[in-house]
Amino acid sequence: MVEPIKRKTLWSVLRNCLRASLALWTVFVGVVLLWAVARETLTVEQMARVQARSAFEKDAVYRQWVASHGGVYVPVSEKTPPSPYLSDVDERDITTPSGRALTLVNPPYMTRQVHEMALQLHGLRGHITSLDPIRPANAGDEWETKALKALEQGEMEVSSVEELDNARHMRLMRPLITTEACLKCHAEYGNKVGDLRGGISVSVPMAPLQTAAREHIATLALGHGLIWLLGMGAITIGGLHLRRFARLRDWAKEQSGDHYGRDRRGTRQKPR
Ligand code: HEC
């Protein structure tokens, strides 16, 4: 008995190639889309970091301005009582010729009040902190303490995405280095010019950026979906043309019985 052997026609070979092309195209578009989504996520983080950096820089410039004047005098009010930490400073409290009471506001005092306003107005958080705080309430949280230790090791910036009050935030901290202007008050705590005095940490909510990114990702997915469909259509139409051609070839070969040495039932031909 002669065993029937499965015939390999041109169409069966081409069909496998076409199936492989469809699969490859799908994988290719999928990978490109995944890459674009991953990039988008990275871009969101970079944008949040840039926002946090500019928030820090603004803070630092205003602080520097206040420090360069050795603090500023503001009217005493319920919100701004004289700072107990400045009680040793000469002329912490002064009275204007007309009798208004003014008190000296040091850089962190100003920064604190500005940070409170920023949180209320824009949800932006800022915190001036140190590993060795003069004012105990200035102590950092766990993340800030870790960041300050990294700054002490010489890092110039620490940033990461963290959960804060059940929402994702980009947290960023940069150092505050002691300059001549700081010594007026900080010399008594043993600080020298060039010392790392502490840092300002700022936190930017990720939600607005993530909403924008989600919209962009939806557009990307739609665009890639359309390109994928176009490719699938093109491969299918090409495949249909090839099928007609291949089937004709296969049919012709079958007619001539010249099927890789086998006839249409798959049995070996007698050598002529
Ligand atoms: C007018 C006085 C004054 C000047 C000038 C001043 N500081 Fe301070 N600083 C203080 C006082 C007082 C505190 C602690 C109480 C508070 O937070 O108000 C403080 C707190 C800080 C803190 C927060 C951590 C802590 O120890 O509580 C940092 C960081 C800091 N200062 C850095 C600086 C740097 C850097 C400069 C110079 C660019 C500077 N300060 C200039 C008075 C001053």
Q: Tell me the pLDDT tens digit for each residue of 96-130.
A: 999 999 999 998 899 999 999 988 888 888 999 99
Give the pair of three-digit tokens for residue 142: 């766990």
Give the pair of three-digit tokens for residue 219: 């557009």
Question: What residues contact 7, with CB distance under 8 A and at least 6 apart?
Answer: 259, 260, 262, 266
Nearest of 267, 250, 260, 229 to residue 15 by alpha carbon: 250
The response to whether residue 176 sits with its C-beta less than 6 Å from ligand 1 reads yes
Q: Tell me the pLDDT tens digit for each residue of 38-57.
A: 999 999 999 999 999 998 99
Q: Which of 83, 134, 151 maximizes ligand 1 atoms within 8 Å of its Cβ, making it the mutation to test the pocket?
A: 134
- pTM score, whole prediction: 0.77
Alpha carbon distance 123, 131 (integer Å): 25
Per-residue pLDDT at 271: 43
Does 23 have pLDDT greater than 60?
Answer: yes
Ligand 1 atom closest to the CA of 63, numbered from 1: 38
String of DSSP letters for 164-189: ETTEEEEEEEEEEE--HHHHHHHGGG
5 or 11, greater pLDDT: 11
Per-residue pLDDT at 3: 54
Neighbours of 148 (CB within 10 A): 23
String of DSSP letters for 188-241: GGT--TT-EEEEEEEEEESHHHHHHHHHHHHHHHHHHHHHHHHHHHHHHHHHHH
237 or 7, greater pLDDT: 237
Q: Domains of the chain (ranges plus CATH)?
A: 57-207 (3.30.450)
The response to whether residue 184 sits with its C-beta less than 6 Å from ligand 1 reads yes
Per-residue pLDDT at 254: 82
The response to whether residue 60 sits with its C-beta less than 6 Å from ligand 1 reads no
How much distance in Å is there from the Cα of 100 to the middle of ligand 1?
26
Per-residue pLDDT at 219: 96
Nearest of 260, 152, 259 to residue 198 by alpha carbon: 152
Per-residue pLDDT at 246: 87
Q: What integer is the mean pLDDT of 27-37?
A: 96
What angle (nearest 5°) sits at the alpha carbon of residue 268, between those of residues 265 and 272? 120
Per-residue pLDDT at 260: 54
How much distance in Å is there from the Cα of 111 to the middle of ligand 1?
10
Residue nearest to atom 23 of ligand 1 (CA): 129
The response to whether residue 125 sits with its C-beta less than 6 Å from ligand 1 reads no
Q: Tell me the pLDDT tens digit for each residue of 119-161.
A: 888 888 899 999 989 999 899 999 999 999 999 999 999 999 9
pLDDT tier, 192 (very low <50, low <70, confident <90, very high otherwise): confident
Report the percentage of the chain scoring pLDDT > 70: 92
